[in-house]
Chains A and B, each alone.
Chain A
Amino acid sequence: MLSYLVRRLLQIVPTVFFISVVVYALLALKPGDPIDELRLGNPGLTSEDIQRLVKFYGLDQPWYTRYWVWLSRAVQGDFGPSRRFGMPAAEYVFRYRLPNTLLLSVTALFIALLVAIPTGIISALRQHTPLDYTVTFFNFIGVSIPIFWLGLILIYVFAVHFRQLLPAGGLSTPGISAPDWAAITAQTSNFFEAISLYISQLGPFITDRARHLILPVAALSSIQMASWTRFMRSSMLEVIHLDYVRTARAKGLQERVVIFRHALRNAIAPIITLIALSIPAAMSGAVLTETVFNWPGMGRAIFESILSNDYNVAMVSLMFISLLIVIFNLLADIAYALVDPRIRYE
């Protein structure tokens, strides 16, 4: 197991390196370059200025030279500046975008799991009953519905038809932001007064953020819910007809014990893998949800940075996501081995 782990960990390096080369090359071959927008926004730029900028950004070099420069800085933790936001690309991605995405996708993931696992189990245990058919039908709907259209419908119903029952999008209502501890302590020197002020501002902020979360989480989680319920159901059905489950029943064990201790333990192993594999996808694949709900997360950061040729931001976020995928792949395999003792890695 240990040597397997070490080998897998060592494999991460060439994989991520390969991905970074491919992505960098593709980005560099894409039409346009980082100074296009500058040129459009500033007609006063002379061709000498542009020449100077091209030289300054190293855009006169072939892509592999630029890649080498990027890589040698990246391994030291310097991912270069974001051209559009005037701050280090890594700071922009990890400080301003990643937390929003985490909030959205972790909440959705959690709700989806909370519903999908019990529903899948019950649906499998009650196979061929009206309950099972209803669940299956909703699963079909969930895996077939385009997420952005579901989002549009939700926005129309809750924000337009019912007049702002829930916000149509965005992170928070303008004017409501997280309480600023520094500003409060500047206002008052009394510590307890400051704490009570802080809490009184924190309450509205949290409710506001929660209200903004409801629709995107509903859209995102209902789609994950559908495929996981389906998966849980089929995994449970596969196990429930096996001999050892029959043996457990024949021994006279309680149904509860048979289901939870004998059947579920084996049925849940593939689900763990599935979930581990879908976490990275949830980080990058939420572009559509984030676009519809105007949610400033990673998915949109990647989308916008690619469109506006903000190479550094695109590279940081894409490499981060790729690394997540590789790591979660490994975690999935390890978790599988831990849950299922039949699996041994050499």
Chain B
Amino acid sequence: MSEPVLQEKEQVRAQVIVERSPSTWVLALRRFRRHKLAIVGSSVIFVLILGAVLAPWITPYDVTDYNLQKLFGPPRLTVPDDPALAGPCIRPAVLFWKCGMHPFGTDDLGRDILSRVLHGGRVSLLVGFVAALASTLLGSLLGALAAYFGGKLDAIISRFTDIMLSIPTFPLLLILTGLLANRELPLSAYLSDVLGPAKSIVIIILVIVALSWMGTTRLVRGEILSLREREFTDAARALGASHTRIILNHLLPNTLHLIIVQATLMVGEAILIESGLSFLGLGIQPPAVSWGNMLSRAQEFFYYPNGFYIALFPGMFIFLTVLCFNFIGDGLRDALDPRLKGRGFTP
């Protein structure tokens, strides 16, 4: 008599356990939340994105308005008595930040450095996100195609990846940016017509994508080569799933843990490349502001009083952003691939 009752209870308990067992993603999120550095990193990035997005509305100064009476100002949180030394402002105050205050000082044309840093963040973060996203998408797709179809397609893609990895990256970046600036080329002329002043941003994104997809391709190809042989792929094929469906719904989602980490680290990488190119004067062109091009003439002002702040702050923001993305990437890797926990940086 008592046996069936027990069984029923067991069944109920079993059901409860099954229902309550959280999904992989929830588990990953829990693990991610335990990674302190990653939480710090995400918070900082959140604040930076907020500042960058809201920049046109939360800065008292416009990025291009100069004042030749206050060149090389030191960081200052007081408003000068002489109104000529305060302006030009587009709004009298934003919260505690009054017109005339320069928390990060002023640059060689008397422009407010903090306002420029916030505006520069728009471009730098945009380039970082879009380039990383596009490069990871392209890279994973090529890797998946090569691994899934194998044969000639694999040979072509792999060989092309190898060649792209054998071309010295930085010089090619220089050539490509120069090339895309050439108005005589149809593609380049088309870009100028469509994009206008945003052209240098689009060019830099295109160039970064063109030269950074190879790592993802190799990673995803390697992973899918082994996933392709697994039973669930055979099952999907036996059920009549199309190639597209197998790749997009069965194979790629199983490499997502790699792709997400790769994409996060790529954001930092892209920001570093953009700032380097802009520093050399090839990336984002003035009057557009980016952290890199704020630094491009910084070295000339080292011997001026307070000239150092022109170099200090934009660079600090690049550093901080890339650092935070690396923290997040590390946290994501620990969360999504717990076997690797604590190893850190396994390329």
Which A residues have a C-beta under 8 Å from some C-beta of B? Answer: 15, 18-19, 22-23, 26-27, 29-31, 127-128, 136, 139-141, 143-149, 152-153, 155-156, 159-160, 168, 227, 230-231, 233-234, 237-238, 280-281, 284-285, 287-288, 291-292, 299, 302-303, 306-307, 314, 317-318, 321-322, 325-326, 329
Instruction: Give the contacting residue for B174; candidates A136, A156, A231, A307; CB below 8 A.
Output: A307
Encoded as 1 (CB less than 8 Å from any A CB) or 0, chain B from 242 to 272 comes to 0000000000000000000000000010001
Which B residues have a C-beta under 8 Å from some C-beta of A? Answer: 37, 162-163, 165-172, 174-176, 178-179, 181-185, 268, 272, 275-276, 279-280, 295, 298-299, 302-303, 308, 311-312, 315-316, 318-319, 322-323, 325-327, 330, 342-347
Q: Which residues of B contact A156 (CB under 8 A)?
A: 302, 308, 311
Q: For the complex, give the distance between the alpha carbons of A286 and B4 in Å.
A: 76
9 further A-B contacts with Cβ under 8 Å, apart from A148-B279, A153-B315, A325-B166, are A19-B167, A29-B185, A127-B342, A148-B295, A280-B168, A307-B178, A322-B167, A322-B168, A329-B166
Q: Which residues of A contact B268 (CB under 8 A)?
A: 144
Instruction: Give the contacting residue for A144; candidates B165, B299, B326; CB below 8 A.
Output: B326
Cβ-defined contact, B168 with A321, below 8 A: yes
Cβ-defined contact, A141 with B170, below 8 A: no
Cβ-defined contact, A152 with B174, below 8 A: no
Q: Please give the distance in Å from B75's CB to the nearest CB on chain A.
A: 16
5 A-B pairs closest in CB distance? A149-B315, A31-B182, A144-B323, A284-B168, A144-B322
Q: Please give the distance in Å from B69's CB to the nearest CB on chain A.
A: 25
Known contacts A30-B178, A149-B318, A152-B298; is-contact A140 B323 (Cβ 8 Å): yes
Cβ-defined contact, A285 with B170, below 8 A: yes
Q: Please give the distance in Å from A131's CB to the nearest CB on chain B.
A: 15
Known contacts A144-B326, A152-B299, A285-B169; is-contact A230 B280 (Cβ 8 Å): no
Known contacts A144-B323, A287-B280; is-contact A326 B346 (Cβ 8 Å): no
Q: Which residue of B lies closest to A123 (CB)?
A: B344
Q: Which residue of B lies closest to A238 (CB)?
A: B343
Cβ-defined contact, B315 with A146, below 8 A: yes
Q: Which residue of B lies closest to A314 (CB)?
A: B171
Cβ-defined contact, A234 with B315, below 8 A: no
List 17 interface pairs A-B (beta carbons < 8 Å), by A numbering: A19-B167, A128-B342, A136-B344, A140-B326, A140-B327, A144-B325, A148-B295, A149-B319, A152-B299, A152-B315, A227-B345, A233-B344, A281-B168, A284-B171, A288-B280, A303-B171, A306-B171
Q: For the complex, give the distance between the alpha carbons of A127 and B342 in Å.
A: 9
Q: Please give the distance in Å from B208's CB to the nearest CB on chain A.
A: 15
Cβ-defined contact, B344 with A287, below 8 A: no
Q: Please give the distance in Å from A75's CB to the nearest CB on chain B.
A: 19
Most buried by A among B168, B316, B318, B327: B168
Known contacts A148-B279, A321-B168; is-contact A234 B345 (Cβ 8 Å): yes
Cβ-defined contact, A291 with B182, below 8 A: no
Q: For the complex, give the distance between the alpha carbons of A86 and B280 in Å.
A: 26
Q: Which residues of A contact B322 (CB under 8 A)?
A: 144-146
Cβ-defined contact, B299 with A234, below 8 A: no
